[in-house]
Amino acid sequence: MKKIINRKNTAAVACAAMMICAAGAVPDSVLSVSMPVQAAEAAEQTSLPQVTGLTSKTPDISSIRLSWNAVSGADGYSIGMRSKGQYPEIADVTDTTYLVTGLPAATRENFKVRAYKIVNGQKVYGDYSVNYNSATNPRPISGLKAQTGNASVSLSWKKVGCSNYRVFMLENGKWKQIAQTDTNSYTVIGLDAGSYKFKVRACKRDDKGANHYGKYSQEITAQAVTVNKVTGLTSKTPNTSSIKLSWNAVSGADGYSVGMRSKGKYPEIADVKGTTYTVKGLPAATRENFKVRAYKIVDGVKIYSDYCENYNSATNPRKVTGVKASDITASTLDLNWKSVGCTSYKVFIYTNGKWKNIASSTVNSCAINGLYAKTTYRFKVRACKTDDKGSNHYGAYSEEITVKTPDHTVEVINGMSYVDGVLLANKTYSLPASYDPKGLTKETSAAFKKMQTAAYKDGISLWVCSGYRSYYDQRYLYNMYCNRDGKAAADKYSARPGYSDHQTGMAIDVNNASDSFGGTREAKWLANNCAKYGFIIRYPKGKEAYTGYQYEPWHIRYVGTPLAQNITNSGLSLEEYFGITSQYKD
């Protein structure tokens, strides 16, 4: 709101003052009234608007040229520059431009300008303009250098005060900005082999976001080369302490750097000219990882390709020693040997004129099953180290050992007869009435389910027609058959109580316990595959004289996979294989 001046009162006071002055005496009270009146009149006569259009240019690194719109009626302008939150006057000009000089390079500055009019010898000011932000230009870039790289050029230069740096490259006869970086270095990548030109300039961003640029650096010419990545890295492990690496040659390469992993990095272990290198002095049976990169020499500097993919390998384990056999039976034995550093051990048997790998063990022992009685066997063992990519590296073979299995022996435990751990139940060997496994054994049941699943995938359905029978169940059946067909006939197809294979809990009649089962798809599948799951055809065709029973293609007996395969492959019945009889005493 404007202050109202009472002109009548003002005139009266002025007149009184003049009269007093004429009388030769001017009281202080009159003077104190007249001076505010003059200031009020000056303020009334002056009404200057705010300065507008304030802008700037930055001609060099130490000055800022300000300019603004003229204010009608103004006698001059006061320029303020911010300092400690205030805007002290730095210049009083009558023009609408002013060059601020002596400023530091690449510094942000803030200005305000206000117009004034001189009234009665006094400056009466208008309001300040809006605060204006600007900055001086950064210094020119110096010390620009280039380092040739693989499909790249690394640039560096001396630091100057600025917000960031702009990198330019000459393309098709024109300079093009290719990068903005906050640091005094930049690597240009993805270049083809050839010559390139670069220059750099600094940029200072002021508070309103406008950019102020320093002068361009001197141009620099740099070379880029291409060094292809190494391919085909592979290895051989000639012994327990070395790995021989080899790779494909890279066209134009002057050499190769070989790195081996250590604490997550690949420090160089060799610089070679050829495409092979043997790493020596390594511990036995240890996994190692390698990378190789090619390089070209440009102006005495090695320019490297990227590393090839990480390659995993391992040294060979040491030779296995101290192989011995223990717990030897007619069909089984245990092999033991001294431990060596490795992932696993491979066990070999000599058969049909060749050494065959029959087992793998992660410990320094192995149980061998499915052997024949009174037979001489030869074994040897070697250690294996598996590297990170799954390749195996083998140590030397142990010395071979020779083992002869004894004849089968029948052992009676708690009234039950076993031959090499297999429970017997036939016309010679009986089971006590108290023996009751309460159904099929867990092993038998699990093996049948596995076989049943495999058969189903082949379109064959198998099920249990008859499984476990107790002593008393068998007594009922046998007596019924004797009453129907007579004892002599019944003894050919039915066991007396206590002599039934079904009482072991390891015998199963499959699908249909009758002669009609023979020749069916199911019977053929069973005969060809049951040994894979630990079963044998208990009463094979043509073996009645040994088993004591007629051919039963539906009747299978669980004995474990190794033994089942041995018995089946031998073409013998269980009685023939173990060298036992199946005859009642009466």
Outline where 88-236 has alpha helix (H).
none
Angle at 180 between CA 175 and CA 182, to 5 degrees: 140
Contact 379, 400 (CB under 8 A): yes
How far from 236 is each of 275, 281, 394, CA to CA, in Å? 14, 15, 11
Nearest to 237 by CA among 385, 397, 390, 389: 385
d(CA 314, CA 320): 17
Contact 227, 296 (CB under 8 A): yes
The torsion defined by the Cα of 57, 60, 64 and 69, in degrees rounded to 10, comes to -30
**Following DSSP, what letter does each residue of 283-318 receive, concatenated?**
PTT-EEEEEEEEEEEETTEEEE-PPPPPEEEEPPPP
Instruction: State which H helix or E strand residue 267 sits in.
Output: none
| Token pair belonging to 108 | 């942000």
Angle at 246 between CA 242 and CA 247, to 5 degrees: 155
d(CA 464, CA 194): 81
> SS3 of 168, please?
strand
Residues 6+ apart with CB under 8 A from 239: 315, 316
Give strand pairing partners of 132. 111
Nearest to 493 by CA among 444, 449, 579, 554: 554
d(CA 170, CA 144): 15
d(CA 508, CA 425): 14
What number of other Cβ atoms are within 10 A of residue 377's Cβ?
18
Q: Decide: residue 166, CB within 10 A, 0-12 exposed, 13-18 middle, 19+ buried.
A: buried
Give strand pairing partners of 6. none
DSSP 533: G
How far from 361 is each of 69, 346, 384, CA to CA, in Å? 94, 7, 10
Tell me, yes or no, if 552 is annotated catalytic.
Answer: yes
Positive or negative, the CA dihedral 521, 524, 528, 529 is: positive
What number of other Cβ atoms are within 10 A of residue 308's Cβ?
21
Angle at 392 between CA 351 and CA 395, to 5 degrees: 65
| Token pair belonging to 211 | 């950019």
Nearest to 442 by CA among 431, 450, 434, 433: 450
**Following DSSP, what letter does each residue of 22-45 receive, concatenated?**
HTT---HHHHHHHHHHHHHHHHHH
Angle at 42 between CA 47 and CA 69, to 5 degrees: 30
* List 109, 288, 522, 552, catalytic entry: 552
The helix/strand count (H/E) of the chain reads as: 9, 39
Catalytic site positions: 552
